[in-house]
Amino acid sequence: MSGKFLKIKSAIIPTFLLFLSFAIFCQPVPASSLNLEDAFKVNDGGVADPLDSAADKAGYNVKRKEGAATPETIISLVIETAMAFLGVIFLILTIYGGFLYLTAAGNDDKAKKALDIIKTSVIGLLIVTSAYIITRFVIERFVYTALSL
């Protein structure tokens, strides 16, 4: 049992450190801090935005109100809501596993079941967190970079 745990532990720690390093070292740099001009001249004080004029000719309503929901904000809200929901599920599973472990009263089967629940919930949390970090990295590096050119 301890050999299996050491294998899992030796695999989880480097993976966690890898994703932690992505979160720390791969932070985005806002275009405003680079003093870049607006590539599509959205805030030029009167001249029409080329993308808006093309969309207007295609029949799309391009008059956005200030603070209106954009696809980026909607996707970000969905991801944040899903992460909060998964965090609550992790917390519930951890409390449930801990309760089962405390009430096992020396019963090895109950204790093993409780430890399995705790282990799988922690592994699930690591997978979800790493998926979130990768998604955030990809969106911030590629989507926002492409939009700010």
Each domain of the chain, given as residue ranges in start order, spans: 2-41+70-147
C-alpha span between 32 and 36 (Å, rounded): 6
Nearest to 49 by CA among 58, 62, 61: 62
Q: What is the pLDDT of residues 118-142, one digit of tens each?
A: 999 999 888 888 888 887 787 777 6
The answer, as to whether pTM is greater than 0.85, is: no
Residues contacting residue 61 through CB under 8 Å, at least 6 positions apart: none
Structure-token pair, residue 66: 């200030």
Model pLDDT for residues 56-100, shown as the tens digit of each residue: 777 776 665 555 666 766 777 788 788 888 888 998 999 999 999
* b/e sequence 114-148, b meaning 16+ C-beta within 10 Å: bbebbeebbeebeebbbebbeebbebeeeeeeeee
